[in-house]
Amino acid sequence: MPLVATGSIVGPAARGRHGVGAFNVIQLEHAEAIVAGAERAGAPVILQISENAVRYHGALAPIGQAALAVARAADVPVAVHLDHVTSADLVGEGVRLGFTSVMFDASTLDYEANVRATAEVVSRCHAEGVWVEAELGEVGGKDGVHAAGARTDPAEAAAFVASTGVDALAVAVGSSHAMLTRDAVLDLDLIAALDRAVPVPLVLHGSSGVADENLAAAVAHGMTKVNIATHLNKAFTAAVRSCLDARRDLVDTRHYLGAGRDAVATEVTRLLTLLRAA
């Protein structure tokens, strides 16, 4: 199955009222694990590379090209998404490399500045056939602070979509980035109100802090794209730690990184099954 457009995954999911898993890639093992998990689930999936991951690698091309190669070799539909990008130059690089979508994040700007910056990115990306996600009502936690009190106003969200032409909207409904516990309280009534008001698919960021039953409830109330990163990193790290604790003489990285990769694949299969059934 070749690399596919992000909209070809998210659009049908939104119409069918089920969720799509979008999982962050930091190392090659993440991309391999996510696709393996999706193949076991028989489900489409989105590989995401964040601006923070680009900064970690020092450039987008090495990890981006690796993720694109894994996607092209998959047996299920896979899209590759550039996530939480604040730099228009980085957006342009992602488009040139072949990313199928970008999430342009101008949420720290005031509303009018966010609209102007986002509309410009949308215009350039749509000219290249690239799908664009944006954020309104800053989701907490990107700076390591769990500030889950932000909420997106439905009327403002509808106006933002109309003014920018975005293809999907990340909204603040009670989740927070980088949570290590799964006890975030989502505002399900707000999700339903946003779903009624906004004509494009809704995106839940900070989903690692949301318990299974609440993820399912969020999808049932109108959420479509569900972003998960920290939860999978916890699974990866736990497996690596267990492997190294069991074999103190182990030096071959393939053994312990392979354990982490296997753990992530198993969890991706479980999460995709949960989201599709929601």
Chain segment 53-83, per-residue pLDDT in tens: 999 999 999 999 999 999 999 999 999 999 9
Reduce the DSSP state of residue 251 to 3 states and report it.
coil
State mean pLDDT over 143-171: 82
Residue located via tokens 């410009």: 120
Distance (Å, rounded) from C-alpha 124 to C-alpha 93?
12
DSSP β-ladder status, 45-50 and 78-85:
parallel
DSSP 8-state code for residue 130: -
**Quick check: is 83 catalytic?**
yes
Contact (Cβ atoms closer than 8 angstroms) between residue 24 and residue 232: yes
Whether 37 has a pLDDT exceeding 70, the answer reads yes
Nearest alpha carbon to residue 60 among 34, 78, 85: 85
State mean pLDDT over 15-19: 95
- Comparing 17 with 182, the larger pLDDT belongs to 17
* pLDDT recorded at residue 146: 38
Which residues, in sequence order, are CB contacts of 220 under 8 Å at separation 6+? Answer: 17, 278
Domain boundaries, the chain: 6-277
Nearest alpha carbon to residue 82 among 54, 53, 58, 48: 48
Reduce the DSSP state of residue 248 to 3 states and report it.
coil
Residue range 136-154, pLDDT digits in tens: 865 444 443 335 567 888 9
Distance (Å, rounded) from C-alpha 165 to C-alpha 183?
33
Q: Domain 6-277: what homologous superfamily?
A: Aldolase class I (3.20.20.70)
Lookup: tokens for 5 = 């457009």
Instruction: Report pTM.
Output: 0.92
One-letter amino acid at 44 equals P
Contact (Cβ atoms closer than 8 angstroms) between residue 176 and residue 184: yes
Exactly one of 83, 167, 187, 195 is catalytic; name it: 83
Residue located via tokens 């199955």: 1
Distance (Å, rounded) from C-alpha 91 to C-alpha 123?
12
Q: pLDDT band at 181, cuts 50/70/90?
A: low
> Any bridge partners for residue 20, and if so which?
225
Compute the C-alpha angle 12/81/84, nearest 5°.
115
**Averaged confidence pLDDT in the chain:** 90
Helix or strand holding residue 213 (H, E): helix 212-220
Identify the weakest region by mean pLDDT among 111-115, 220-224, 260-264. Answer: 111-115
